Amino acid sequence: MLDLGRTLLQSVERSPDRVALVDGATRLSYADWAARVGAAQHGLLEAGLQRGDHLLVVLQNRWEMATLHWACQFAGIVMTPLNWRAKGDEIDYCLADSGARALVSEPVIKAALAESQLASGVTRIGVGAVDSETSGASIHFEEWLTAPREPVPQAQADDLSLMLYTSGTTGKPKGVPRRHHAERIAALAHVAQNRYANGECTLGVMPLYHTMGVRSLLSLALIDGRFVCIPRFDAKSALAAIEAERVTHLYLVPTLYHDLLEHPDFQRTDIASVRKLGFAGAPMHDALLQRLAKAFRPELFVNHYGSSEIYTFAINQDAVGKPGSAGRAGINTRLRVVKLDQHDPALRVAPLEEGQIIAELRSDEAFEGYHKRPDANAKSLHDGWYFTGDTGYVDADGDLFVSGRVDDMIISGGENISPVDIESVLSLHPDVAEVAVAGLFDARWGQKVVAFVKTRAPVAAEALDVHCRVSDLVNFKRPREYVFVREIPKSPVGKVLRRKLVAGEYEADGDNDQSSPKGLP
């Protein structure tokens, strides 16, 4: 069974002169990149890290981040990436939780490092224009590159490859350790299920501390492809890279697709090279699906449903043909929908009945349990199945629909209401740019359905209510209140943070002062 280091060597040996990595003016062939990966591998070992140690890396999506990821795979070091926007206490938590022996950083996180209590106790490696006195870095990454080296595989397929931290939207992040063989199989499945061809090119937009970003990095290496780094997402630079590099496929969260379409440069950007679209991380509402299909006319439009724990749950390779459907189980997966508030994987629900989605842990893509979190394992792992915390149902055709999170379920007047269907209906209104639905306390109903709306043009709550009434949305799901906001609060990877909406942590849109504080009938 191949480890990931030998997997990269396959591409280096097949296509040594092909461009593998692009980051602004930096363009590296597979042979050149391998020499830098080897230099970084040697540097990590010289810094005292050993096989099985964790390396905490807090970098943007720059070429050094991608290089360190591969260097860890050769060295048998556990790549442990963290959001570059992390605060000092978050860095401390992950340092303590992972037991990382070293920390890699760049100038953009200097303030967070100054707040950290633990960073000074580990080896510090600086990337970019790092001032050793103010950053605390004792080693400069660039110095390793003065002596290019051939990378040497020292890991086995059963070794840990990386540990991702969950987004932590409801409490402390959980470490998700993943082995080489699971990472490699997940990347192979990603290639197959997205029908990637040899030599394709993608944008390295999704962060490399997130499972989507890691999958793009690994899958492109499997097909001798080109990974175009976008250190910090902005639609203008992403569109310029699509045109300049002739990007062939995109794999993004819906929020970033929305931002691309809304940018003024989109209409004058040559996007003809993009033949395949894929999305994950959050549901894509009907209106955005239709706009993307019209704009790109892709030959393949994939809805990928998965998680850090088990990369692929389900795949729908015709996202436009059946909007909202996550499709069916991926090629390495078995799925079920079981009774809510139960831990028995045998208690399946009937077709069209809503329940919790679970996936079998025997999947070759699966993790084996959370890092030092028996409480989380007890909540999510039962009888060989992973309980995802997502709600959904299977339709009469056998296709899966994801309706939300168990924690996001709105219970109003005894009815269980998931936000996703309501959001899809409202997204089709021409004046709605983005929408998120949450349940707010109501003395009579327990919770009431409230829609938080970012508009394209001023619109009255009553007009949106009429839009819902004439749709196929059942009446009890209809929002009883509309709140107009300047932005929908989201995580760094585009997931809606409903808890912030419930807590009132948003900026109201004073230009569209037509909210309905008393509620609609």
Per-residue model confidence as pLDDT tens digits over 363-402? 999 999 999 999 999 999 999 999 999 999 999 999 999 9
Could you give the count of Cα atoms lying within 13 Å of 60 in the half-sphere of its Cβ? Answer: 15
What tokens does 279 get?
A: 């999305």
pLDDT over threshold 80, residue 171: no
Mean pLDDT along residues 268-276: 98
Closest to 67 measured CA to CA, from 146, 145, 136: 145
Q: Is the dihedral of CA 499, 503, 507, 513 positive or negative?
A: positive
Contact by Cβ (8 Å): 437, 449:
yes
Q: Which amino acid is at 128?
A: G
CB 54 within 8 A of CB 260: no
Whole-Å CA distances, 421 to 140, 331, 355, 507, 508: 50, 27, 15, 24, 24
User: Comparing C-alpha atoms, which of 61, 63, 59 is closest to residue 32?
Assistant: 63
Decide if domain 409-512 falls under CATH 2.40.30.10.
no
Tokens found for residue 382:
């039962």
How confident is the model at residue 499, as a pLDDT? 83
Q: 355-360 and 300-305 as β-strands: parallel, antiparallel, unpaired?
A: unpaired
Question: pTM for the full model?
Answer: 0.86
Q: Is 499 left (phi over 0), alpha (psi -120 to 50) or beta?
A: alpha
Give the number of residues written for the chain.
521
| Least confident residue range of 167-181, 380-394, 434-448, 504-518 | 504-518
H-helix or E-strand containing 300? strand 300-305
**Contact (CB, 8 A) for 305 and 236:** no
Crossing angle, helix 286-296 and helix 419-427, to 10 degrees? 50
Residue environment code for 377-394, b if the CB has 16+ CB neighbours within 10 A, otherwise e: eeebbbeebbbbbbbbbb
Given the DSSP bridges, would you call strands 335-338 and 355-360 parallel, antiparallel or unpaired?
Answer: antiparallel
Query: What percent of the chain lies above the pLDDT cut of 70?
Result: 96
pLDDT in the model for residue 169: 47
